Each structure stands twice: as structure tokens, then as C-alpha cells.
């Protein structure tokens, strides 16, 4: 239930260690471990390659063309957090740049996920402050309308509740509800465990058709080979 004009100061963060370990598996494995859900839309792209972070979400709801609440959320950041910013309507303005990044970083934020635009990407790249955004735009914003901090938000098509685990890498962004974090970690680890084995077999020329025993179901489904 969206409330406007409120800042929740005390949120229940997922276990920090679990969040960190989820990040080692990457977005593809983590969302598979949840049943192929939890991904933000693929239009969310990192501003530079090879960034890979995971942490707990502090959330902020902005209005189009207005970044006032990003200053409000800064105060709520704790080390290890990732800020997740949603906007009440599509707008690619550059809500966030070098100065805010300096502040967020000083507060211990690991990065930003924003369903809008970002600017100063060169400086952010040099600072190694990663951002996943829907656009890059130099367009500045105003500071006139209240949104909220640490309420549940929909960001790029996914519901993010404050304290949830965020995992972000070159493939995109996934959100893991805090209550599912431990279970998802275990499922991700299990999934990951035999990937090395599989990779070795495939590299040796074994076909997935055989390794996964697909030939019979394919035949049953009616697949025909023609010479």
C-alpha cells in the first residue's frame, strides 16, 4: 500500500551475510533458484561493465523529474545497502549524479538501482559507484514534491520491499524477498554446485541432449530427424 510523504527509519534488513553470498551466484542463478521470478525488466542496464553487487534494499519513491527524496533516502542508508528508486510515472531525467553518489558512498551504499535516468556516468565509473538504470540523461530535476522512503515500491516491474536482497550484475537485477533469502541461497548453492561438472562435460563435447536425457522426451514430443 503506497503512502506518500513518509520515511520509515527502522526496516528489517535481510541477513547481511546471506545477501553477500547470494551475490556470488549472480542474477541468473538466483532468479532460477526462486523459480524464475524476481527479475527487474531487462531495460535496466548497468552504466559500466563488470559491476556485480548484492545487498539490502532501502527504497525510495520519486515523482517524475523530481529527485528531492534521494536526499532524504541518503540519511537512511546503512553500510551494505543498495538504494532502489522507483518513479510514479515514466521519466528518463537524470535524477542522480556525482554529488549524490559521493554522499551515498560515504553512507556505505554499494550502488543504486533506479527506474529512471542517471548522469555523470563518467565520474560514477571512475568512482566505481555502480548504477543500474533505464536511461542515461544529463537532464536535471527539481526538488518540489514529496515521495516516500522505505515503503514497498514497484521498480522496473518488480515489487521491492525495504530490506529485501538485491543482486545486480551485467545480466540485470533481481530482488529476493528477505523471508526467502536463506532458502534461495541454499537453492542457488545447490544449483551452482554441479555447474562446474556440467561445464566440464559440455566442454569435452558431451551434448546437453545426452547429459540432460532429452532425447526421449523430444522423440515423445514428436521431433523428427530428416537426412
- The interface with its own copies within residues 25-84 (CB under 8 A) comprises 26-28, 31-32, 34-39, 41-42, 45, 49-50, 52, 63-66, 68, 71-72, 74-75
Q: Does 143 bind its own copies (CB under 8 A)?
A: yes
Stretch that binds its own copies, among 3-11, 15-23, 182-190 (CB under 8 A): 3-11
Question: Which residue among 23, 97, 162, 163 contacts its own copies (CB under 8 A)?
Answer: 97
Please provide the size of the chain in residues: 227
Residue pointed to by grid coordinates 534461495:
184
Q: What is the dihedral of CA 119, 100, 169, 28, to 10 degrees?
A: -110
Nearest Cα residue to 55 out of 93, 28, 16, 25: 16
Question: Which residue among 15, 24, 78, 152 contacts its own copies (CB under 8 A)?
Answer: 152
Question: Which residue among 169, 184, 187, 188 contacts its own copies (CB under 8 A)?
Answer: 169
Question: Which residue among 12, 17, 79, 122 contacts its own copies (CB under 8 A)?
Answer: 122
Minimal distance in Å, beta carbon 187 to its own copies?
A: 13
Residues 4 to 23 in contact with its own copies, rule: CB under 8 A: 4-10
Q: Does 227 bind its own copies (CB under 8 A)?
A: yes
Question: Which residue among 12, 90, 128, 186 contacts its own copies (CB under 8 A)?
Answer: 90
Q: Does 174 bind its own copies (CB under 8 A)?
A: yes
Q: Does 189 bind its own copies (CB under 8 A)?
A: no
Question: Which residue among 171, 182, 189, 192 contacts its own copies (CB under 8 A)?
Answer: 171
Q: How far apart are CA 138 and CA 119, in angstroms?
A: 5
For the chain, the distance separating the N- and C-terminal CA atoms, rounded to the nearest angstrom, is 60
Q: How far apart are CA 155 and CA 162, in angstroms?
A: 12
**Hey, is 5 helix, strand or coil?**
coil
Q: What is the DSSP letter of 179?
A: G
Minimal distance in Å, beta carbon 111 to its own copies?
A: 16
Rounded to 10 deg, the angle between the 26-33 and 181-193 helix axes is 110
Q: What is the dihedral of CA 79, 84, 87, 88, to 10 degrees?
A: -100
In the complex with its own copies, the residue whose CB is nearer, 4 or 17, is 4
Amino acid at each position: 500500500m503506497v503512502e506518500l510523504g513518509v520515511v520509515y527509519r527502522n526496516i528489517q534488513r535481510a541477513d547481511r551475510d546471506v545477501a553477500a553470498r547470494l551475490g556470488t551466484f549472480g542474477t541468473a542463478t538466483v532468479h532460477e533458484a526462486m523459480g524464475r521470478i524476481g527479475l527487474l525488466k531487462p531495460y535496466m542496464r548497468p552504466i559500466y561493465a563488470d559491476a556485480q553487487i548484492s545487498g539490502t534494499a532501502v527504497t525510495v519513491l520519486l515523482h517524475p523529474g523530481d529527485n528531492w527524496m534521494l536526499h532524504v533516502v541518503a540519511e537512511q542508508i546503512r553500510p551494505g545497502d543498495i538504494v532502489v528508486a522507483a518513479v510514479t510515472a515514466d521519466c528518463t531525467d537524470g535524477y542522480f549524479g556525482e554529488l549524490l553518489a559521493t554522499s551515498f558512498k560515504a553512507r556505505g551504499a554499494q550502488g543504486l538501482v533506479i527506474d529512471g535516468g542517471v548522469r555523470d556516468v563518467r565520474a560514477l565509473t571512475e568512482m566505481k559507484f555502480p548504477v543500474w538504470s533505464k536511461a542515461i540523461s544529463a537532464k536535471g530535476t527539481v526538488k518540489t514534491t514529496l515521495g516516500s522512503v522505505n515503503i514497498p515500491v514497484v521498480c522496473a516491474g518488480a515489487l521491492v520491499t525495504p530490506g529485501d536482497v538485491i543482486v545486480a550484475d551485467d545480466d540485470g537485477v533481481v530482488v529476493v524477498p528477505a523471508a526467502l533469502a536463506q532458502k534461495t541461497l541454499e537453492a542457488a548453492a545447490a544449483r551452482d554446485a554441479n555447474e562446474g561438472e556440467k561445464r566440464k562435460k559440455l566442454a569435452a563435447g558431451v551434448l546437453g541432449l545426452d547429459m540432460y536425457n532429452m532425447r526421449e522426451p523430444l522423440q515423445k514430443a514428436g521431433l523428427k530427424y530428416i537426412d
